[in-house]
Amino acid sequence: DADVTQTPRNRITKTGKRIMLECSQTKGHDRMYWYRQDPGLGLRLIYYSFDVKDINKGEISDGYSVSRQAQAKFSLSLESAIPNQTALYFCATSDLTGGDTGELFFGEGSRLTVL
């Protein structure tokens, strides 16, 4: 089983619908992230959380919200999906304790299409 699991892997929805992408991890990391990736733009940070009580906006948080239900779970919601939110979404974890480098461990991605 993957250390970082995202569901769903693929989703097609319509404009205006509410969508939730879920992420769970078994690495025991405190830090979790949601990124989106668009062709030619690289990875852009939507939200991040350094522990259960800590939620922070990234560079493109408008139109998104998150919930950190537990250390292992971090969900991303699109309150009212629009077509320009069509993208590949990645959840990631990291741990800067114990001398770790801060390397990110990614989930397999969730491809979202908004019609």
Partner 1 sequence: GQNIDQPTEMTATEGAIVQINCTYQTSGFNGLFWYQQHAGEAPTFLSYNVLDGLEEKGRFSSFLSRSKGYSYLLLKELQMKDSASYLCAVLDSNYQLIWGAGTKLIIKP
Binding site for partner 1 (CB under 8 A): 40-45, 88, 90, 96, 101-109, 111
**Nearest residue (CB) to partner 1, 17 versus 55:** 55
Strand partners, 21: 76
The answer to whether residues 76 and 20 touch, using CB atoms and an 8 Å cutoff, is: yes
CB of 106 to partner 1, least distance (A): 4
Strands 110-114 and 10-13: parallel
**Nearest residue (CB) to partner 1, 84 versus 101:** 101
CA 72 to CA 93: how far, in whole Å? 10
**Terminus-to-terminus CA distance in the chain, angstroms?**
32
**Nearest residue (CB) to partner 1, 12 versus 16:** 12
CB of 80 to partner 1, least distance (A): 27
CB of 43 to partner 1, least distance (A): 5
